[in-house]
């Protein structure tokens, strides 16, 4: 017999999702993760959040917080994890969705630990676009986006930063069985075929079931501690 706490029921008596589904999307510069995030949004109704884009938007807004962020960047300081996380939380709340792709974050172990501590959310999994440096370098040098940092010296520095900072995050979640590694050296279409296998209906239903049953199990003991029998005890 399972017991459902009334806090899990909405006004109509239906079960509600309390925790959002978060997928961290990581990959080196030029790995194609941005393109694949757009495909996932179009096909699986996720909301795509880029930590970098949120920081730039906050700066552009001219807010007090944006000015602080801009000054820190100008001084060569690292924006505190809590600042970025608050922007992510705000964007998540305003989206009205409960499924999120968080792109390019966490960038390091400190980001990762802070995100879990502040939000209380652990990602469903990490989508890691694995691509050889030679291929990423070729893509970055050949694309025509007018980016000042698309020169060979800067590109190689970005590769180094990714390896030193982000790989420990990937290794941490890999040890927990939460990394979905994708060969990103293939064409956009081939890569997305693999992505679809991860986000497809079968896996989505399994992930939803596991999340739901975990919450039922947690609330079971919370409710039993309050009463053994009563109107709120619902037999499974």
User: Is 186 flagged in the annotation as binding?
Assistant: yes
147 is in an annotated binding site: yes
Is there a binding annotation on residue 152?
no
Q: What are the backbone angles phi and psi of residue 113, rounded to the nearest 5°?
A: -65, -40
Q: Is residue 112 annotated as involved in ligand binding?
A: no
Q: Which of 128, 146, 48 is nearest to 88 (CA)?
A: 48
Please tell me whether 78 is known to bind a ligand.
yes
**Cα torsion for 88, 90, 92, 93, to the nearest 10°?**
160
Instruction: Flag whether 160 is marked binding.
Output: no
- Residue 104 labeled ligand binder: yes
C-alpha to C-alpha distance for 131 and 28, rounded to whole angstroms = 7
Is 180 assigned a ligand-binding role in the annotation?
A: no
Task: Say if residue 168 carries a ligand binding annotation.
Answer: no
Return d(Cα 177, Cα 157) in angstroms, integer: 30
Residue 107 is labelled as binding a ligand: yes
77 annotated to a ligand binding site? yes
Q: Is residue 128 annotated as involved in ligand binding?
A: no
- Rounded Cα distance between 47 and 92, Å, is 8
Q: Is 143 annotated as a binding residue?
A: yes
Binding residue positions for ATP: 30-35, 143, 186
Give the residue numbers of the binding site for a ribonucleoside 5'-phosphate: 56, 77-79, 104-107, 147, 158
**Known binding residues for CMP:** 111
Binding-site residue set: 30-35, 56, 77-79, 104-107, 111, 143, 147, 158, 186
């Amino acid at each position: 017999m399972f017991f459902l706490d009334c806090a899990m029921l909405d006004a109509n008596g239906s079960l509600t999702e309390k925790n959002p589904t978060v997928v961290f999307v990581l990959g080196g510069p030029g790995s194609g993760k941005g393109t694949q995030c757009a495909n996932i949004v179009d096909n699986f109704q996720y909301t795509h959040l880029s930590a970098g884009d949120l920081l730039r938007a906050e700066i552009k807004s001219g807010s007090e917080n944006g000015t602080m962020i801009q000054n820190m960047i100008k001084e060569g300081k690292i924006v505190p994890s809590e600042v970025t996380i608050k922007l992510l939380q705000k964007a998540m709340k305003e989206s009205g969705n409960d499924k999120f792709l968080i792109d390019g974050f966490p960038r390091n172990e400190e980001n990762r630990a802070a995100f879990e501590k502040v939000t209380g959310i652990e990602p469903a999994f990490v989508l890691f676009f694995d691509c050889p440096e030679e291929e990423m370098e070729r893509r970055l040098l050949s694309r025509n986006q007018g980016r000042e940092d698309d020169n060979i010296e800067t590109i190689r520095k970005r590769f180094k930063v990714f390896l030193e900072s982000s790989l420990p995050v990937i290794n941490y979640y890999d040890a927990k069985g939460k990394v979905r590694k994708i060969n990103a050296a293939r064409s956009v279409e081939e890569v997305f075929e693999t992505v679809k296998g991860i986000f497809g209906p079968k896996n989505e239903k399994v992930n939803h079931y596991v999340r739901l049953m975990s919450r039922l199990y947690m609330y079971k003991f919370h409710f039993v501690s309050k009463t053994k029998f009563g109107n709120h005890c619902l037999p499974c």
